Amino acid sequence: MELDEITITRAIIEEFTSDFLDCTDTDVALVGGGPANLVAAKVLAEAGVRTVLFERKLAIGGGMWGGGMMMPRIVVQEEARRILDDFGVNYTEYRPGYYVADSIECVCKLGAGAATAGAKIFNLVSVEDVMIREGDAVTGLVINWTTVGLQKLHVDPMTIRAKVVIDGTGHDAEVCSTVARKIPGALSVIGEKPMWADMGERI
């Protein structure tokens, strides 16, 4: 069969647009495609919750790709080992309570697990703001293509509605910080603390 480039173009546009339209009114919208939100997306989707995740960068995975100081290995404590098992991530026990996994394998399997469960993942989409309605309720997100922000283009964003918004933007807590700024007194964002693995990684 001879492939037709126009058919390929139409397939990409039509299939993407169909998925994207379905996600304009959803149950849960997750901001950030790091490991925490990928795990949350899988759990939610498996429970039958309509779930969409927006990642502003080209690749999901957050900072996990680089492991520790560009050595692609991560260390997981006993309490989180079940997450590795759930996603089928290989690991070895370094010492009792310390499990070492390949960070690249881990990101790939977290993403595959979330997508296979039914979560929709859109990369290169930035969240500019939140939708707020009566009673100071956060009811959705204001989104735009990441390239619009990078190029400082004057392009209006669009919105999606969600019953629940989850901030998975890491140390910056960007969505929570936006809510705290827009609704004084609604949230107290603690922010990033000094590195303390035992405290920071508690489940």
**Mean local confidence (pLDDT), 103-127:** 99
What residues form DSSP beta bridges with 93? 99
What's the average model confidence in pLDDT over 146-160? Answer: 98
- For residue 201, what pLDDT is reported? 64
Amino acid in position 43: V
Report pLDDT digits (tens) over 162-183: 999 999 999 899 999 999 998 8
pLDDT of residue 188: 78
Q: What is the DSSP letter of 106?
A: H
State yes or no: pLDDT of 151 exceeds 60.
Answer: yes
- pLDDT, position 203: 57
Which residues touch 155 (CB under 8 Å, ≥6 apart)?
Answer: 144, 145, 148
3-state SS assignment for residue 2: coil
Cα–Cα distance for residue pair 29/120, rounded to 1 Å: 10
d(Cα 57, Cα 39) in Å, to the nearest integer? 18
Stated pTM of the model: 0.93
> Rg of the chain's alpha carbons, rounded to an integer?
19
34 has pLDDT over 90: yes
Q: What is the CATH number of domain 25-200?
A: 3.50.50.60
The encoded tokens of residue 81 equal 């080992």
- Distance, CA of 61 to CA of 197 (rounded, Å): 20
The values of phi and psi at residue 158, to 5°, are -130, 175
Q: Kindly state the average pLDDT of the residues 128-139.
A: 95
> 152: helix, coil or strand?
coil
pLDDT digits (tens, 9 = 90+) for 96-110: 999 999 999 999 999
pLDDT above 90 covers a percentage of the chain that reads: 88
Q: Report CA torsion sign: 53, 56, 58, 63.
A: negative
Tens digits of residue pLDDT in 65-107: 999 999 999 999 999 999 999 999 999 999 999 999 999 999 9
pLDDT at residue 184 in the model: 85
Q: Over the stretch 36-53, which tens digit does the pLDDT of each residue have? A: 999 999 999 999 999 999
Distance CA 109, CA 83 (A): 11
Mean pLDDT of the chain: 95
Average pLDDT over residues 139-151: 98
Strand partners, 70: none
- Beta sheet of 91-95, edge-to-edge order: 73-77, 98-102, 91-95
Residue 154 tokens read as 């004057």
